[in-house]
Amino acid sequence: MQHHAASYSKKGYRRKLTIIRECFTTFSLQAGFPTGLVIKKFGTNEHTIGDLSGISVAFLGEVKFYDHHRINKVRPYGLGFGILALNILSFASDNTTPDIAPVGILSLTPFGRNNRFQFPLYFGGGYLLKSGHWFFLMGPGIQFNF
């Protein structure tokens, strides 16, 4: 901003104005490879805590939240929704079969929050389309952000 000398009789002044846009959330598309997920299916006669899954593939849209006390730092958690292809490569017992499920996932990233390559912990649930059961999942994964 600058004073217009022709409009005023006194000497003008100059000010520098800095505008900072504050963001509350960020959205990212992810391809994740959750491995060794503990899966608990509801509506079955199983009384176990859950089965270990094989290697799965997840495609998620995730919303992360910025920390208001630190500049350009995201919080270590995010909410995601997408598709999980479960047990694509299964090295566990024979009772695990491949399935596809729409899921809602909470991901916790204890370290490396701003990297493109991360190791999050997943918690969430969804509906298995092939077997027709609701399920809960938790476990580690490898994540690539685009």
What residue ranges define each of the domains in the chain, with the CATH number in brackets? Answer: 25-145 (2.40.160)
Each of the 146 residues of the chain gets a pLDDT tens digit; together they read 566 667 777 777 778 888 877 788 989 898 877 777 888 888 776 655 666 677 788 898 999 999 888 877 888 899 999 999 988 875 555 556 788 999 999 989 877 655 677 788 889 999 999 988 899 988 887 777 66
Q: How far is it, in rounded angstroms, from Cα 123 to Cα 73?
A: 22
Q: How far is it, in rounded angstroms, from Cα 121 to Cα 100?
A: 20
pTM equals 0.70
Residue type, 33: F
